[in-house]
Amino acid sequence: MLAQVTISLLICFLGCWALRPGPSRSVLKRQVLAPSSLDTHIRTARLSRRLNRTVIVVIDCETVPCKNNATCHHESHCECAPGWTGHVCDKEVTHHVQKYGFETELGLTNDPGNEVDFQLATYSEYIGRGTEGNSYALVQSDTTCHYHTQLYFDPIYTENSLLIEFDYTTYGNGVLNFHMLDTDGYGTYHLLFDTGNNGIWKSFSYSIAGGYNIQYYFSAVTGGDTWDFYGAVAIDNLRITVQK
């Protein structure tokens, strides 16, 4: 009889122990995560089949180092080297900008047949100063003859989309045209014609998709009127952005 009671008590104890409450699924051991994708600090960790949690990963220069010659500041953020971006500088910049500030050289080519050339200028009586830096590209004439001037870019193959931007102004009889020549033989496209700006600067932009062999160039006309023969054309802050 005593043995049966002892066995019953033992079975009850084992059953109660097996049915005791387990630890909460929301309680997890704290751990340092090494994120596999470093473009964001936020990672989602699956804690169980039914529960998700968001884990914030703070940059640590030892466990999550800055990449591509970047500098880590205060173990909290990365200062990227030129050409890189992202929280840890692992993303290449998606565009390349080529600037022609006309500070020390034109960077573009005057046509050998020009009657007068574009030149660098820091100030003009009628144009004033440029929009960026200390100088700009200027062509001017004060004769009663029409002078034609062309200024060429180097030929470009637009494997990727291309954006052209620049500032410009004209004065007096000055006329500015901007052209795109398709060197595959599809012709020349006139993108800009403007005159009579009286030295007030304007901005121009034009984009083209990839896959073309092209050459851009400016053409200007100055001078040529018996009663008001002065003409000037100026260009500044030229940028070519190639999308990767």
Q: Read off the pLDDT of residues 114-163 as tens digits, 9 standing for 90 and up.
A: 999 999 999 998 899 999 889 999 999 888 888 999 999 998 887 778 88
DSSP alpha helix (H) spans, 130-235: none
In the three-class reduction of DSSP (H, G, I as helix; E, B as strand; rest coil), residue 2 is classed as helix
Query: What is the structure's pLDDT at 139?
Result: 96
C-alpha 181/C-alpha 188 separation (Å) is 4
Over the range 147-180, which residues count as b (16 or more CB within 10 Å of their CB) and which as e? Answer: bbbbbbbeebeeeeebebbbbbbbbbbbbbbbbb
Asked whether the whole model's pTM tops 0.75, one would answer: no
Contacts of 30 (CB under 8 A, 6+ apart): none
C-alpha 244/C-alpha 207 separation (Å) is 14
Retrieve residue 102's tokens.
């006309």
Q: Does the pLDDT of residue 194 top 80, yes or no? A: yes
At residue 37, φ and ψ (nearest 5 deg) are -110, 115
Retrieve residue 68's tokens.
């591509």
Query: What is the structure's pLDDT at 204?
Result: 95
Query: What is the structure's pLDDT at 106?
Result: 93
Give percent of the chain above pLDDT 90.
35
Contacts of 190 (CB under 8 A, 6+ apart): 177, 178, 179
> Which has the minimum average pLDDT: 8-22, 63-77, 118-132, 162-176?
8-22
Q: Specify burial of residue 78 (Cβ count, 10 A radius: 0-12, 13-18, 19+).
A: buried
Contact 74, 85 (CB under 8 A): no
C-alpha 228/C-alpha 32 separation (Å) is 77
Query: What is the structure's pLDDT at 66?
Result: 84
C-alpha 149/C-alpha 222 separation (Å) is 8
Residue with the bigger pLDDT between 228 and 54: it is 228
Q: Does the pLDDT of residue 91 top 60, yes or no? A: yes
Mean pLDDT score of the chain? 75
Q: Read off the pLDDT of residues 23-61 as tens digits, 9 standing for 90 and up.
A: 443 333 333 333 333 333 333 333 333 333 333 345 566
Retrieve residue 110's tokens.
């005057």
Query: What is the structure's pLDDT at 74?
Result: 65
Query: What is the structure's pLDDT at 226?
Result: 58
Query: What is the structure's pLDDT at 18?
Result: 44
Domains of the chain: 34-92 (no CATH), 97-243 (2.60.120.200)
